[in-house]
């Protein structure tokens, strides 16, 4: 009986040592060792503008003088490169004169404003070709992709997650070492808040810090009379933040130029820095950086 107990304790100790070694010295940890803060952008459902928030938050942080990287973890619908005007391919390089298969690494694409981006969209043969990987392939691809990139030094890595709490989301939550936490994006509709609450609960179950919640598409200013309208409802994001006991970082208004900005590959924060949208994103960036400094 004692022998079996000692064996179980020994195996548990080995597992803890192995997990700690991977967390601090594994391939992902070594690839990301020069990035100070790592934040995943989460939503419960699609259509909430999570990629738009990610790209414009990155631009707001960049305008504040920070070095920023984005990892586009939405394997089936990668849109970050297009939203930043990056239509080329990532370079495959080696640091050795006679490289082997495991020596090859990827250089991120860099936007005109200096934001580094890694996405499968920058590796695939064409925009029309679908990515039809299954669960295990997606999990391996995410880990291998992160570990194979020359990220360099940066202040922030923003991870644009796919909607929901599927394989890719869980892989990022479990695999990225020293993940600072999750930023949650929702919209004013009650159904969005309901689904988003499940994603928040998933992060809590995995013991991932929740840095805050933002409500996108919160209001629209009438161009004729200047009155503020609420086409999708009002206050659900702030109500959800209170209910789930996480910080509410702000409500982001609708800008009619947003669609054109995404198609042009220019973040609205850069195109219209004096807009209500840009000011809100700057305020969110300020609150986020302040909270990280307290950690």
Q: Which residues are annotated as a binding site for ATP?
A: 44-51
Give the burial class of 273: count Cβ atoms within 10 A of its Cβ; 0-12 exposed, 13-18 middle, 19 or more buried.
middle
Taking CA atoms, 268 is separated from 30, 138, 215, in Å, by 34, 31, 17
Residue 277 near residue 269, CB atoms below 8 Å: yes
Residue 60 near residue 209, CB atoms below 8 Å: no
Six token digits for residue 37: 């803060």
Rounded distance between C-alpha atoms, residue 109 and residue 89, angstroms: 7
Tell me how far the alpha carbon of residue 27 is from its chain's centroid: 20
Rounded distance between C-alpha atoms, residue 155 and residue 166, angstroms: 28
Residue with tokens 């989460």: 42
User: How much of the chain is helix, strand and coil, in % rounded to 5?
Assistant: 45, 20, 40
Rounded distance between C-alpha atoms, residue 295 and residue 293, angstroms: 6
Residue 166 near residue 197, CB atoms below 8 Å: no
- Between CA 130 and CA 139, with CA 134 as vertex, the angle to 5 degrees is 110
Q: For the chain, give the number of residues.
A: 295
Q: Which residues are annotated as a binding site?
A: 44-51
Q: Identify the three-state secondary structure at position 14.
A: helix
- Beta-carbon count within 10 A of 59 CB: 26
């Amino acid at each position: 009986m004692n022998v079996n107990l000692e064996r179980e304790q020994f195996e548990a100790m080995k597992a803890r040592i192995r997990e700690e070694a991977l967390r601090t010295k594994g391939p992902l940890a070594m690839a990301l060792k020069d990035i100070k803060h790592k934040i995943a952008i989460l939503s419960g459902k699609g259509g909430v503008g999570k990629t738009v928030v990610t790209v414009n938050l990155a631009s707001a942080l960049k305008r504040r003088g920070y070095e920023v990287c984005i990892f586009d973890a939405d394997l089936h619908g990668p849109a970050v490169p297009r939203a930043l005007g990056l239509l080329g391919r990532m370079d495959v390089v080696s640091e050795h004169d006679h490289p082997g298969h495991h020596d090859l690494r990827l250089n991120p694409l860099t936007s005109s404003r200096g934001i580094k981006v890694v996405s499968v969209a920058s590796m695939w043969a064409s925009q029309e070709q679908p990515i039809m990987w299954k669960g295990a392939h997606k999990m391996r691809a995410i880990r291998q992709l992160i570990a194979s990139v020359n990220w360099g030094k940066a202040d922030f890595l923003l991870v644009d997650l796919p909607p929901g709490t599927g394989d890719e989301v869980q892989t990022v939550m479990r695999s990225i070492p020293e993940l600072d936490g999750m930023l949650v994006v929702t919209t004013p509709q009650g159904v969005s808040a309901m689904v988003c609450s499940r994603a928040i609960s998933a992060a809590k179950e995995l013991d991932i810090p929740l840095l805050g919640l933002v409500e996108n598409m919160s209001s629209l200013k009438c161009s004729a009379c200047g009155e503020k309208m609420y086409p999708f409802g009002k206050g659900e994001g702030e109500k959800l933040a209170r209910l789930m006991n996480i910080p509410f970082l702000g409500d982001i208004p609708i800008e009619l130029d947003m669609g054109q900005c995404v198609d042009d590959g220019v973040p609205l924060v850069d195109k219209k820095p004096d807009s209500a949208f840009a000011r809100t994103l700057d305020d969110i960036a300020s609150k986020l950086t302040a909270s990280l400094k307290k950690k």
